Every structure is written in structure tokens, then in C-alpha cells.
Amino acid sequence: MLCEPKHWSFCKLDFVSKNYAFQCRSIVEQSIQFHHTGSEIVTLVEDRKLCKIQQENITSNGIIPPALQDTLGFPTLQSDINGKTLQENWKKMQIPRTYISGTLAVSILFIVGFCLQKANLIFPCKQEQIINYSEKTAAQEIELAHYERLRLVKSRNLRQMALFVLTPWLAPIVWNGTFDLSVLDKQHNNTRIGLFVFAVKKYIRFLQLFLETAERYFMVGHKVTYYVFTDKVDEVVKPKMADGRILQIHNVVADKRWQDVSMRRMEVLTVYTKKHMPNEIDYLVCADVDMVFTDHVGVEILGDLVAAIHPGFFLSDRESFTYEDRPISAAYIPQGEGDFYYAGALYGGKLDEIYKLSTTCQNGIIEDKKKNIEALWQEESHLNRYLVYNKPTKLLSPEYIWDTNLPYEEFIKKKRFVIVNKNKRKITR
């Protein structure tokens, strides 16, 4: 509220008497504030000077006595109050009002602009223009997959650790929708990847499908070298291979027991990761041969030390894990230790990491042999022990190694690498 020019002085007093505090400018442009501090006393503040004016100092018609006006810098002459000077002063008094309305208008414009931009109606965001349709779709899929997993996690009373996307030591667990392949593919533009596999004795029958499906789904568009170890070199059927992909076939001794064939892989790894592979590849993936690729398996699985969560134990309690529990074995894992049960049928990493892993496991196998014992699940037991004390930097969800005979299939939206049904007794005899 502002005073009319002609009632300027009166109006001030009127406000004061109605308990209003207000601010206006005197003719000498000094800022004066009136505060009513009670019915009797009026406090007036001017340039940090504090004056107390008794109510009786104000005349009955509401005009401040000239003596007091002098003190305050108010007009002392009635002509000043009614005349031209006052009109000019009134104009000066308008300045704060204009200023306030201006500020208000700018603020409203700013808020309206902000809301319109939020609704993307004006100034469409540059980033939006860059993001193309497929990237948007990928982002949505990632979000959906994440929420779906969370929903499943909450719906069951099972150990949920494997369903999350991070381990307690902050290694990612690769689930469908946790990665953007377009980004990773660019990052691994020049990466050379090896796929190590044994196909000894009757297991040669699995090799053809293994290699053919690998050509369809494994590291498509990247440089891949297959390292096939077999006792039946002549029986290897070379698949039709894409550019940049190489097949190496190596002869290996055929151990009598299937357990020894399986464990022999560690010994071969200690040699090849040290001597032959370093000039040829950057990462190595080690796999069982009794498997088929049924969906994409790409560079998202690469990491320093990568292990796959065993599909038979991904929702099991630690107590159910089939770790080696005899302290006499080099693969022994004490009660209460260990995080996941990892599969011996798929693991990988950088060459130096696989060298360390295979050397440790192979030494354990030799130690056990000297004691005439064998770990419960051969090299898988040694691998699990190694991974308890050397935490993998990346984990693969059971999407990357699945068995269609297993329960809880609803958790596995993509089955990428699937175990082939076999009659073990028949093929290992």
C-alpha cells in the first residue's frame, strides 16, 4: 500500500496508527522505515539511527510537526507537501513499485519458460537430438529388465545375492539389460579374444555345434581365435568362419579318466597363457565343449578376472554350495567362507590373470595327487577356492551358463550358453 501524494504525511501516520510497518522514500531520497511497536510509541529507523517518538509528538490532524520533520528529513513546508515538488517526489516514490513489478514479471517469465522447457516444448535439449531411436529403446530395455529383476527379488524367499547387479566387493554381475553393447563394442574395437576348449575322446561330438553356434553368437564382429585341444585332430569339422576369426587345433593327450581330461585343462592353460597366447590375444574365455551358444555372448563378458555363477546354485544358500570341505585338499574352503558357487564350465579374463589362476589351480591339483586325493569337483573345486581369495572383477549371471533341466527358469530371460544334455556315463566310458 502506498500513500496518495496529498495525504502523504497523514497516510504515514494513519498506517502507523493501524499497526502497519511500511517503507517509502523521503524527498531527499533517504530510506525511512516506520515500525509500530505499541500503541504509544512509534519507532523510526533512518540510516541506522534510532529515534523514539512519543505519540503526542504527532498532531491530531496527523501531520508530523515541522521540528520532527527536520530531524527526519521530511518536508517542513505545507507548500512542499501540496505542490509540484511533492508530485515529483511521488514519481520518485513509484520507482520501487516498478522495480517490484518488473522483478515479478521476470520471475514469472522464467518459471513459465522453465516449465515449457521441462515439457520439451521450447528449446528441445541438444542431447535429445543426438540420442537416436535405438539408443532410447536400449535405455528403456535396461530400465525394464532392472525393475523386473527387482520385482522377482522381492517376490521370493530365496538367497538373492546372485540376482543383484553388483557383488559386495562391487564387481558387476552381468544380467540382461545391465549393459549397452553399442558402447562396449566401440571400446573393444581392437580387442583380440581367445576361446579355449577341450574336445577329447567322445567329446569331439560336441565340437561342431559348439563352433558353429559360436560363429553365430560369440563375440560377433570381433577378432576371435579358437583354441581347440583334442586327441582327434582329423575329426575336427571347421565351421564357416567370419573374417577376423581363426581356428587353431592342438593335439593333447587323452587321459583315461574323464576327471583327468577335465583337470588337464588347467595344466595346458599354464603353458599356453604364458608361452603361446600373449602375442595372439588380450582376453581368454575358457569353456566346456558340451555347450551351445543360443543367444548373444559378447564383449560385455570381458574383464580382468571373470567367473560365471553356477546355474544350479544361483539361489542356494552358502551351506548348499558343493565346495571342497576337506581341509586336507588344496581346494578346501572353510565353513562360512565363499560368496558364490562358480561354474568350471565358463570363466575368463586377461591372459596374465588366467595364467595366475591356472597355475594356482594346477599346483593344487598336483598337491592333491601327491596325497592321493581328488577334490570333489576336480578343477571346479580348485577354481572356486581360487575365486574366494582372488575375487573376480566381473561375474556372469546364469544367463551365460544355463541348464534347461534346472528350476527357476523364470529368472533367466536370456539363455545365452546352454548345457547340452548328455548321458555322461555313455560318453565317458
Residues that bind ligand UDP (CB under 6 A): 197-201, 203, 258, 261-262, 288-290, 345, 424, 428
Measured from the CB atom, the residue of 8 and 293 that comes closer to ligand UDP is 293
Taking each helix axis from N to C terminus, what angle separates 351-370 and 258-272, rounded to the nearest 10 degrees? Answer: 140
In angstroms, what is the minimal distance from the CB of 317 to ligand UDP? 22
24 in Cβ contact with 38 (< 8 Å):
no
DSSP 83-134: SHHHHHHHHHHHHHHHHHHHHHHHHHHHHHHHHHHHTTSSS--HHHHHS-HH
The listed partner (Mn ion, ligand UDP, none) that binds 258, CB under 5 to 8 Å by sort, is ligand UDP
For Mn ion, give the closer residue by CB, 9 or 384: 384
Give the Cα separation of 297 and 319 in Å (integer). 31
Strand segments (E) across 149-251: 173-174, 192-198, 223-230, 245-251
Question: Residue 379 binds which entry of Mn ion, ligand UDP, none, with Cβ cut-offs from 5 to 8 Å by kind?
Answer: none
Q: Are 338 and 384 in contact (CB under 8 A)?
A: yes
Q: Which does 74 bind (CB under 5 to 8 A by kind): ligand UDP, Mn ion, none?
A: none
State the nearest-atom distance from the C-beta of 144 to Mn ion, in Å. Answer: 33
Q: How far is the CB of 259 from ligand UDP (least distance, A)?
A: 8
Closest CA to 162 of 296, 286, 321, 300: 321
The set of residues, in sequence order, having a beta carbon less than 8 Å from that of 413 and lying 6+ positions away, is 145, 148, 176, 399
Partner from ligand UDP, Mn ion, none binding residue 262, C-beta < 5-8 Å depending on class: ligand UDP
E strands, 275-397, are: 283-287, 291-293, 305-309, 342-350, 394-396
Q: Which of 300, 380, 399, 410 is catalytic?
A: 380
As measured in angstroms, the least distance from the Cβ of 203 to ligand UDP is 3
The total of other beta-carbon atoms located within 10 Å of residue 320's CB is 12
Q: Which is nearer to ligand UDP, 103 or 251 (CB)?
A: 251
Tell me which of ligand UDP, Mn ion, none is bound by residue 310, counting a contact when its beta carbon lies within the kind-specific cut-off of 5 to 8 angstroms: none
At 230, give phi and psi (nearest 5°).
-150, 160
In terms of CB distance, is 288 or 300 closer to Mn ion?
Answer: 288
| CB of residue 373 to ligand UDP, shortest distance in Å | 19
Interface residues with Mn ion (CB under 5 A)? 288, 290, 345
Q: Is 135 a catalytic residue?
A: no
Query: For ligand UDP, which residue has the nearest CB?
Result: 288
- Is 345 or 418 the residue whose CB approaches ligand UDP more closely? 345
Classified as helix, coil or strand, 332 is: strand
Catalytic residues: 380
